[in-house]
Every structure is written in C-alpha cells, then in structure tokens.
Amino acid sequence: MEGREEDVRVGANKFSERQPIGTAAQDRDYQEPPPAPLFEPAELRSWSFYRAGIAEFMATFLFLYISILTVMGVVKSNTKCSTVGIQGIAWAFGGMIFILVYCTAGISGGHINPAVTFGLLLARKLSLTRALFYMVMQCLGAICGAGVVKGFKKGLYDNNGGGANVVAPGYTKGDGLGAEIVGTFILVYTVFSATDAKRSARDSHVPVLAPLPIGFAVFLVHLATIPITGTGINPARSLGAAIIYDKSHAWNDHWIFWVGPFIGAALAAMYQQIVIRAIPFKSSRP
C-alpha cells in the first residue's frame, strides 16, 4: 500500500547512510562483527590475554607517573607564571593518552581507563572476563604510578594534595558529578568514533590516527573541568591518587569519580549503538 509509513526496523536496513557531497568515498561491503561473548573461559588460557592486562598496567602506571608529577610541579610553585599552569597539566594528561593509546592499541586496545573499558563492555566489544581483568590492572597501575611520585618527595606530595580529585570550593557535589558525566561522555564518544570499524571501511579517504582525537578530547576536557574537580574522567586515576595521598577529604567526594565516569560511559555507549549506529533497529537481513 503506497504512502504507508515504513517501520523503523525496515527503514534502518533499507536506506543506507549517504556520503557527503564532494567526497570520493565509495560504498564498501561491511559486515557488523558479532558481539563479544559475556564470558569467554578460553581467554584465561591464552598468553595474549595476560599480555594485554600487563600492557594496561604499564600504560596506566606511566600515565599516572607523568600526569601527577606535572600536577605536583604546578601546585608547589608560589606563582603559576613560573610553571606550565593548567594548560600544561591538560597537555600532560592529553599527550600521555595520545602516546600510550598509540603504543598499546595493538596489544590491549589502549583503554587505560575503567570508564572506557566499561563503555566498550556495554557495546559488547569485549567480554566481561577481559573487562574486569583490565579494570583491576588499570587500578593497580595507577596506584603504583602515584606511589612512585610520592616516593620522590613525600612531604611535597602530602602538602600539595597528591593530585587527588576533589570537588573545588564554590561547587556542589552535583556540579562535580555533572562535570564528570559530561567529560567522560565526550571521551568515550570520541573513542567509539575514532575506532569505529565501519567508519574506517566507508571513509578510507579520510586518514584518522585514532589516538590523536582521543588524546585531544582528554586535553580539552581537562581544560574545562580542572577548576571544578581537578578532572577525573578516569576512575583508576582518581583511585590511585586517593589511595597514595590517603587523606580524609580525598575520600569525601571519591564516589563522584566512579559514578560520574561510569554514567558518562554508559550514555556514550547507548548514544553510539542506538542513535549513531542504529544497531537495535537493524535486522540480520542484508
């Protein structure tokens, strides 16, 4: 019957995404990969599984070492004009993510963040077994990284906040939670977009070095939210600094730096899978 409305499920399969005018992109066959199994016991017998976890540990260790050391260099100075300032801190965080994602992407995927791992788990990009292992290794790496920084000069570390995330005076806990949700959404959405296999197949004329936009997203989020929460958007980073600093006020708001990033990651995963990719509305038919 002419004029009847197409069902959303049919529409999502019938009408292909249109290429922007002016591009030389050509349609390419693309098959959606099957979702990762929730549990994959065979992984536990594979060396590549443990190698990936070690890579996550080392990457998060190096990330905390450089970033917290940069924070200490800024806060210990009486005048910020003699230091790299907030911009330098943001560059340290974003630059290290760029480098470490580039180095570890081929081994573990370069998550370096439990919130990123959680978002990819919700999108069924990895198993629950691997996700939990990554999160544990990321947290252990963060603790060790912050511990090494404290080992350089304990007094300086303890007297200058230890790089721990807290909600700044003048802001409410709600403000801090909102900043963490939005900041993590930006990061995880960027991760999905930069690593989208369909985009690579469709837009191969556009060279995208995935770690670059991811690192730049981290840089920009830090510029915006350092004055509010010191910028967490990474529960492992917040946990490592809090454990090594170990002062009561570092734990008062600590829940914000887990709940906020996990909510932001979940929202980004839903947006990517439901709105951008329309996966729930696509049937298995070609």
Report the amino acid identity of residue 234.
Answer: N
Q: What is the pLDDT at residue 208?
A: 60
Q: What is the pLDDT at residue 196?
A: 82
Q: Is the pLDDT at 251 greater than 80, yes or no?
A: yes
Average pLDDT value for residue range 8-25: 44
Q: Is the pLDDT at 249 greater than 50, yes or no?
A: yes
Burial (0-12, 13-18, 19+ Cβ within 10 Å), 110: buried
Question: Crossing angle for the helix pair 47-75 and 128-152, nearest 10 degrees?
Answer: 40
Chain mean pLDDT for the chain: 86
pLDDT digits (tens, 9 = 90+) for 60-73: 999 999 999 999 88
Average pLDDT value for residue range 26-35: 63
Residue with tokens 């260099």: 73
Q: What is the pLDDT at residue 5?
A: 47
Q: What is the pLDDT at residue 39?
A: 85
pLDDT digits (tens, 9 = 90+) for 148-182: 999 988 888 888 889 999 999 999 999 999 999 99
pLDDT digits (tens, 9 = 90+) for 173-211: 999 999 999 999 999 999 999 988 776 655 554 556 889
Q: What is the pLDDT at residue 227?
A: 95
82: confidence class by pLDDT, cuts 50, 70, 90: low
Q: Is the pLDDT at 30 greater than 70, yes or no?
A: no
Q: What is the pLDDT at residue 203?
A: 56
C-alpha span between 236 and 104 (Å, rounded) = 17
In the chain, % of residues over pLDDT 70: 82
Nearest-10 Cα torsion for 23, 29, 35, 36: -90
Q: Is the pLDDT at 21 greater than 80, yes or no?
A: no
Three-class SS of residue 8? helix
DSSP H helices, 128-280, are 128-152, 154-159, 173-194, 197-202, 211-229, 235-245, 248-252, 256-270
Taking CA atoms, 231 is separated from 6, 26, 164, 214, in Å, by: 45, 41, 10, 16
CA–chain centroid gap for 37, Å, is: 22
Q: Read off the pTM.
A: 0.85
C-alpha span between 35 and 234 (Å, rounded) = 25
pLDDT digits (tens, 9 = 90+) for 273-286: 999 887 777 755 44
Burial (0-12, 13-18, 19+ Cβ within 10 Å), 57: buried
pLDDT digits (tens, 9 = 90+) for 89-113: 999 999 999 999 999 999 999 999 9
Q: What is the pLDDT at residue 278?
A: 78
Q: What is the pLDDT at residue 153?
A: 82
Q: What is the pLDDT at residue 245?
A: 94
